[in-house]
Amino acid sequence: MNRTRTLSTPLVALLAVALPALAGAAAHGAPLPAEYTGILLSSSGAVTVPVTLHVDSFSTPAEIARLSKELGDHGPRAVMTDLAAMPARGWIRVGDLIGFDVPVIREFSTPKGVKVFAVLDRPFPLFEQLKAIRSVDTPFGVVELTLDLNGNGNGTLYPASRVMFTNDGKVEAIDQGAAAHQIIGVTQQLGVK
């Protein structure tokens, strides 16, 4: 799905979820493409909207290692440039808003199921730029989903975060610039088109 980014789209809340572990082997090799759907709660919990993460493929450990080196050598702006140049591994959509390409998606086995992580550059809404309320220090959006063995679970969306790539290829969200949003009722659909 090719989507055009619109800087004024208020999808920022979806695009910055912390990513505690990006590297490592892909989990169980689920059939792809796959979709993960759930309900995104506002920070107050009063407003809900559907959210979908569509996965066409998973990022490789080599890609994560390259991003780690880029972050260490040249900082987050260089990683943002790299993310913009990377092919989409899938897309994410909140409600009826336009979808955004996701260049980094990883899946990891856990004793109770799987974790899916997605990292993308978050667009800078025009109102944030004009009011100087957006920090370039938190340029990443991160989604973390925790699923049981049946493909059901919950997640978190961090709308604005910094990330840290560790020497062992993992990524951690640090210094979140905005409140995290819970994603409830996540279900996995495999082999979707």
Per-residue pLDDT for 29 more than 90? Answer: no
pTM, 2 dp: 0.77
Distance CA 95, CA 39 (A): 9
Instruction: List pLDDT tens digits, range 105-125.
Output: 988 888 999 989 898 887 655
Per-residue pLDDT for 146 more than 90? Answer: yes
Residue type, 50: P
Quote the pLDDT of residue 65.
84
Name the least confident of 24-33, 69-78, 148-157, 176-185: 24-33
In a domain, 4, yes or no: no
Per-residue pLDDT for 1 more than 60? Answer: no
Distance CA 186, CA 168 (A): 29
Domain that holds residue 77: 11-190
Across the range 162-179, mean pLDDT stands at: 63
Residue 57's nearest CA partner among 85, 82, 86 is: 86
Quote the pLDDT of residue 5.
34
In a domain, 131, yes or no: yes
First to last CA, the chain: 10
Tokens for 145, please give them: 């989903």
pLDDT band at 6 (very low <50, low <70, confident <90, very high): very low
In a domain, 49, yes or no: yes
Residue 92 contacts residue 102 (beta carbons within 8 Å): yes
Quote the pLDDT of residue 61.
82
Q: Which residue has the higher pLDDT, 165 or 75?
A: 75
In a domain, 2, yes or no: no
In a domain, 105, yes or no: yes
If phi > 0 it is left, if psi is from -120 to 50 it is alpha, else beta; for residue 14 that is: alpha
Q: What does pLDDT average to over the chain?
A: 75
H/E stretch holding 93: strand 90-94
Number of domains comprising the chain: 1
